Amino acid sequence: MVNISDNFDTVNERLEKFNSWKDHSPKYHYGKKELNPNDNVVAVKTNMQGESTWNWTHNLVTSNGDIYYAKKITLKKGDGTAYADTDFATDGILFHHDGSTSVTSSTIYGCMVLGSANTTTNEADTYGVSASGSTFESGGYDASHGSINTTKTLTANYPRHADADGDNSGGATDQVTWAYSWTTGDFDTTGATDLNGGVIVDRATNATPANAAKLLCHFEFSSAFEKTGNDTLKVFVNHTFEGGA
């Protein structure tokens, strides 16, 4: 006689095991690495041998960044008239300008700046003012720095949605991607403090952003890293728009 056990899990027990497995499983992978879906900032450093390393983190969109997106989506003022790039410039939030054209007689507006300061991001932050400790400016590798200037305008034809760049682990159809790219000769942090984070800022016609220069977003890398003169670097910032009540 064959004894057949009837000690099977109930439907609820099997569902509980599945949910436990799902909770502990990676959300998704990129290049065989587990990623946190909240890590919307992607830094890709590539050496002379073509070997790339990725660094992921998440950002904080500032209060000024929220205002920017509201105005960019509507392109209308409160009275219904058009809100143009000249208005973005006047308000100090022309983040999407790539420097290729002149607005109010200047080409110096939106850019990304990387830096070494160990900061705590806050929605109220500006370039040189922090509500939570050290300012980004205190370690910013900007145009005023003696030997390292990471100031970089937006890559052409960004921001965009559904970014198809293979280096970007984001780029979903509900995301707006901002991209910035540095060549080997753009800057070299060898012998200096490693890169620890960055901002998207409107310089408002100044080579170096003023203390009160407004930020779209501010981020800290998950681990600091250097960029040598033999490395290229790309940074992608992917902002997701999610439905809500």
| 79-113 pLDDT, tens digit each | 999 999 999 999 999 999 999 999 999 999 999 99
Confidence of residue 131 (pLDDT cuts 50, 70, 90): confident
Is the confidence at residue 116, as pLDDT, over 90?
Answer: yes
Residue by residue, what is the 3-state secondary structure of the chain? CCCCCCCCCCHHHHHHHHHHHHHHCCCEEECCEEECCCCCEEEEEECCCCCEEEEEECEEECHHHHHHHHHHHHCECCCCCECCHHHHHHCCCCCCCCCCCCECCECCCEEEEEECCCCCCCCCCECCCCCCCCCCHHHECCCCCCCCCCCECCCCCCCEECCCCCCCCCCCCCEEEEEEEECCCCCCCCCCCCEEEEEEEECCCCCCCCCCCEEEEEEEEEEEECCCCCCEEEEEEEEECCCCC
**What rounded mean pLDDT belongs to the chain?**
88
Nearest to 96 by CA among 150, 135, 154, 11: 154
| Per-residue pLDDT at 10 | 65
How many C-beta atoms surround the C-beta of residue 88 within 10 A? 22
- Which residue reads 């969109």 in tokens? 61
CB 71, CB 64: distance < 8 Å: no
Mean pLDDT for the stretch of residues 111-128:
95
Computed on alpha carbons and rounded to an integer, the radius of gyration of the chain in Å comes to 22
The pLDDT value given to residue 190:
97
Q: What tokens appear for 69 in the block? A: 């997106």
Poorest-confidence range of 82-86, 145-149, 240-244? 240-244
Work out the percent of the chain whose per-residue pLDDT is above 70.
83
- pTM confidence score: 0.85
Q: Is the pLDDT of residue 200 over 60?
A: yes
